[in-house]
Amino acid sequence: MKAFSALLDRLAYTPSRNDKLRLLADYFASTPDPDRGWALAALTDGLFFRLPLRRILGEMIEARVDPVLFGLSRDYVGDTAETIALIWPGRDASEPAPRLDDVVQTLKRAMPTEVPGLLSSWLDGLDATERWALLKLLTGALRVGVSARLAKTALAEWSKVPLAEIEEVWHGLRPPYTELFAWLSGSGPRPHVGTTATFRPLMLSHQIEDRELALIDPKNFVAEWKWDGIRVQAVHQGGERRLFSRTGDDISGAFPDVVVGLPPGVVLDGELLVMRGNEVAPFNDLQQRLNRKSLTPAMLKSHPAHIRLYDMLLHGEEDLRPLPFVERRARLEAWHAKAKPPRTDVSAMLGFGSIAELEKLWAGARETGIEGLMLKRRDSPYLAGRPKGHWYKWKRAPLTLDAVLMYAQRGSGKRSSYYSDYTFGAWRDGEGGEPELVPVGKSYFGFTDEELLKLDAFVRNHTVDSFGPVRQVEPRLVFEVAFDSVHRSSRHKSGVAMRFPRIHRIRWDKPAEEADRLETLVRMIVE
């Protein structure tokens, strides 16, 4: 636990991506198996112990610390694990700290009634940093600024094995990844994942710049719409059907209606949508189905899933990725016409003969509720990652709204001491005709660290009420909020939901009464 605790602690206070990569690479190089494998699992897919930790930790801390004191401390610190780690009384240093493998294996074997005693004994023997790391490990919410891709990139930098090769075998392996580390360290063969339904790294695009747009030649590029869903990979191999998100998460359970009809022997790239009567539904409708543990027949009927296919990576035992895009595309169209898989279609190619025609297509994207355009080089092989010069995305210009800050909440991790999560609202006529603010969105990014200090000070100096960790703020500060689209929503008091809102500019100079009205936002909805 000591090495893992030190790693998490340093990662939490290291803002630089390159420095994080170096810390991770050093840890993987110096830590023995299986500890480094469990750490890798915690940083990527998480270690799901399926324990009622909220109840267990609540009962444990209540027996040791006054509940009122703990509640006040939790509100101040902003993180439950950190609060318990700091407030846990005493330390028995007579026993050495357990290894990471000891913790994982012991909890895997333990009966539910044994867990509180095990946790108490470990917490008693650890210092504050080690207690924090243990609790973060158990909850799965590390919040140290490390994504799964960053952890895999660190593996690639340490081992000198290309990231694409690591991702090719990743989803066929399980923690603690001893086969993976043997291969990466040169002491074992490349892991064999066979023909099982595993994830293949996606090919991604770059946002096109003006100078690059001017160089687009219709003879070398094709265009297609950039649909507003989520990128997925549909796989049916080795007798298994799977649907993966762009990061490789298995989301098959949430979308059984599209998985069940996949013909065998294919790996397909596409966009997951909700479609009704051949019309693409707003992204908010797709969100209703994301991350659900169970689906009702009513939800399956009212929010039917659909995959709009872009590409074919594998067909039977043939790997199509080295082929040019236009050849893969032809193979996809021929296969789809023959197989006719339900709840799928093929994204249409858009012809253009000049940049002026392309700009006209792009300009019309918003009116049709489409996110923008994709431009793909005709001769591009399917390359993992984000290779330059092959695929471009040309997203439509964002919408903006002047909204008023209403509520603020502390952030997490290195922001746990700052009010950095902001809910903002627009004006509407309330009862009696008096103007009132109604929440229309929430965001926690789009501002600099320097601006965060000013915003935190504003929240503290203009708080008018508080509800646990949330502060209600005097309606004086205006945010210019950028967002991709807006949709009707019965889940929100305002009746609308923004897609990907972010704070574009802080309007310190603008009076709050001049901020936009809800009707302005409603008019931006594309029905």
So which residues are the catalytic ones?
226
Cα–Cα dist 258/268, whole Å: 12
Considering only CA atoms, give the Rg of the chain.
26
Tell me which residue of 392, 348, 484, 44 sits closest to 203, measured CA to CA.
392
For 174, list phi and psi in degrees, rounded to 5: -135, 150
Tell me which residue of 407, 402, 380 sits closest to 493, measured CA to CA.
407
What residues form DSSP beta bridges with 394?
373
Q: Tokens in use for 430?
A: 């309330």
SS3 473: strand
Tell me how far the alpha carbon of residue 399 is from its chain's centroid: 22
Q: 354: exposed, middle or buried (C-beta count within 10 Å: 0-12, 13-18, 19+)?
A: exposed
Cα–Cα dist 517/435, whole Å: 9
> Strands 399-410 and 391-395, how do they pair?
unpaired
Q: Indicate the residue type of 457.
A: A
404 with 512: CB under 8 angstroms? yes
Dihedral, CA of residue 161, residue 163, residue 165 and residue 170, to nearest 10 = 110
For 10, list phi and psi in degrees, rounded to 5: -70, -35
Tell me how far the alpha carbon of residue 263 is from its chain's centroid: 29
Cα–Cα dist 155/28, whole Å: 7
34 with 47: CB under 8 angstroms? no
Cα–Cα dist 506/322, whole Å: 47
Tell me which residue of 426, 413, 409 sits closest to 486, measured CA to CA.
426
Asked if omega into 191 is within 30° of 0 (cis), the reply is no
Cα–Cα dist 60/459, whole Å: 34
Q: Tokens in use for 316?
A: 């039977």
